Amino acid sequence: MVSLGPFPRTPALVVGSVHHTRWRPLRNSFHHRHYQWLIDLADAPQVPGWLRPVATFRGEDHLDGDPGLDALQDNVIRLVLAERPGLTIDRVLMLAHARVLGHTFDPMTVFWCLDEFAQVVATVIEVHNTYGGRHAYVIDGPTSHADLDKQFYVSPFNEVEGGYAVSVKVSPAALSVGIRLAVDGKPLLTATVGGRVLPATPWNVLRTVATHPLMTQRVSALIRWHGVRLWLRRLPVIPRPATPPAKTLTARSTSRSVR
């Protein structure tokens, strides 16, 4: 395991919950148990063979879709250096779902780029929608808060408009990421995911998988279930844009600390 600054030792499990609230034009909230992995892309988790069906990571599940975690790390670094060519990136940490029985879905993946002193020099937030689309936002510099213009079609009930306020809290014992979407200065959606950090020992992985069975399948199913409920409540559906948006957007951080 690797210890890096304020971050937990990797690999680790972040076991907790996901909260989501739609504030308008109708109110809808949910709260579900949830877990993700925090891994170092250069030091992939070494789990026993019998656990691999529920703990597999593939580079093609993210960004440019290239196979292998080495290629994924290269893609993250290339993406950041295209915006900030002078940065030195030593490691990339990823908060994401593992593949469970061959299936994965990550509504949001977070990559932290660290320098040789284990300081965050950039953060990448990748958003996936249920239509197979991906979009990466690059946050410049160490941050616990950042503001982003929305550039990607995610929910069929939301236009591509407004802005996100991102909040990140990291400690050796807990990790959380919160996002608030506001349109015309008024909150539309808020979502928070996170929990306590557990070392990714075989026992902790087995216990977490047993108490959170079929995690990624559950995430995919619940997103669709909540979408059907909103549709039944007659929330208008917004057609997908005909032309995909640009792949990345750089945001300047509004705070200088990841702690």
Question: Higher model confidence: residue 214 or residue 247?
Answer: 214
- 54 contacts: CB under 8 Å, gap ≥ 6: 98, 100, 101, 205, 209
Q: What is the mean pLDDT of residues 24-32?
A: 94
Asked if pLDDT for residue 58 goes beyond 60, the answer is: yes
Sorted by where each begins, the domain ranges of the chain are: 12-252
**The pLDDT value given to residue 243:** 59
**The pLDDT value given to residue 5:** 54
pTM of the model: 0.92
Q: What percent of the chain has pLDDT over 90?
A: 79
| Band (251; pLDDT cuts 50, 70, 90) | low
Q: What is the mean pLDDT of residues 178-194?
A: 95
User: 92 with 207: CB under 8 angstroms?
Assistant: no
